[in-house]
Amino acid sequence: MKDVLDRDSAVPLYAQIEDVLRRMLETGEWKAGQRIPSESDLQKEFGVSRMTVRGVLNLLADEGLLHRVPGKGTFVSERKIVAQSPAYQGIREQLEARGFRTETELISSGLESPSERVRGLFGLGQLGLAHQITRRRLLEGEPVTLHQSWINPTLAPDIDVHDVVERQLCEVLSAEYSLTASRTDETLEVLMAGEEEAELLHCEPGDPLLLLRDVLTDSRGRVFECTKLLMRGDRMKLQFSFES
C-alpha cells in the first residue's frame, strides 16, 4: 500500500492512511467481524512508523469502527444503526424506511400493577392496574431493542384485543382511540444489561444499553402512555437535531 500514499502532499501521512482504511471499511473490503492486519503488518505495508499506524487505529476504534480483543487482535465492529428518538418517528418505521428487514415479537401483554410514578401520571388509585405491553424488535433476525409500554386503561380500554405486532402501537392508539401525542417528555441514560435484558437482547450481562423513557400526553393534557425503550449500545445510536 506504500504507493497509495502521496509523500509530497501537504496532507499528513496519518490522514491519508485514515482515508484508506475508512474506504476499506465503507466499501466492505474489511467486513464486520473480520480481523484486520496487525500494527506491524500495516506499518510495513504503508512504510510508516508503528506509532503513526497505532494513532490511526486508535482513532477508528474511538469511533466504534474497530475494536480490540486482547490476545487476538483488532477486528471490524458491527456498524451501528443511527436512529432518531421515537418521539419523531417510530424505530420500526425508521429502520424499514432504510430497507432493513424487521420483526416484532410480543413478549408479554396484560393488565398489571404499574409503578407508583406511572399510577400517578395516569391518575390511578393505589391498587389501579394498567395495560402493559412488552415487545422485542429484531433487525435482520437479531434482537436490537426491547419496548415496554404502559397504557392508560381509562383512555384506551381493551387495547389488548388489538394487534400490536403487525401494527405499530402508536397507530393503534391513534386509529382506535384518537390518542396522539402533543407533548413528549423524554429522558436518556445508559445502564448495564441485567440477566433478563441480556437474555432477551442476546448480549452479555454488563453490556451497555441505551435507556429511553417517554411520557406521552395528548392535546387535552392527559397522559396516555409511558414507555421504556432499551437499545443495544453496540448496535444502535441516537441522533438528535435542534433548531436555534
Last residue of a domain, one of 51, 76, 101: 76
pLDDT at 96: 66
Number of domains into which the chain is organized:
2
Do 195 and 152 meet the contact criterion of CB atoms below 8 Å apart? no
Cα separation, 132 vs 138, whole angstroms? 20
DSSP per-residue string spanning 18-41 = HHHHHHHHHTTSSPTTPBPPPHHH
Per-residue pLDDT of the chain (244 residues; tens, 9 = 90+): 556 788 888 888 999 999 999 998 888 889 888 999 999 999 999 999 999 999 999 999 888 788 888 889 999 887 767 666 666 566 767 666 767 678 899 999 999 999 999 999 999 988 899 999 999 999 888 899 999 999 999 999 999 999 999 898 999 999 999 999 999 999 999 999 999 999 999 999 999 999 999 999 999 999 999 999 999 988 877 766 667 6
Residues 87 and 186 in one domain: yes
pLDDT at 90: 67
Q: What is the pTM of this model?
A: 0.70
Do 208 and 218 meet the contact criterion of CB atoms below 8 Å apart? no
Residue entry with cell 432477551:
200
* CA within 13 Å, CB half, 95: 21
pLDDT at 128: 93
**Domain membership of residue 231 as a residue range:** 81-239
pLDDT at 146: 96
Q: Which of 222, 86, 208 is nearest to 153 (CA)?
A: 222
Q: Which CATH number does the domain housing residue 114 bear?
A: 3.40.1410.10
Cα separation, 32 vs 65, whole angstroms? 9
Residues 71 and 89 in one domain: no
pLDDT at 112: 96
pLDDT at 84: 66
pLDDT at 89: 62
Residues 162 and 197 in one domain: yes
Residues 151 and 42 in one domain: no
Residues 108 and 229 in one domain: yes
Tell me how far apart the 2 most distant CA atoms of the chain are, in Å.
76
Residues 88 and 198 in one domain: yes
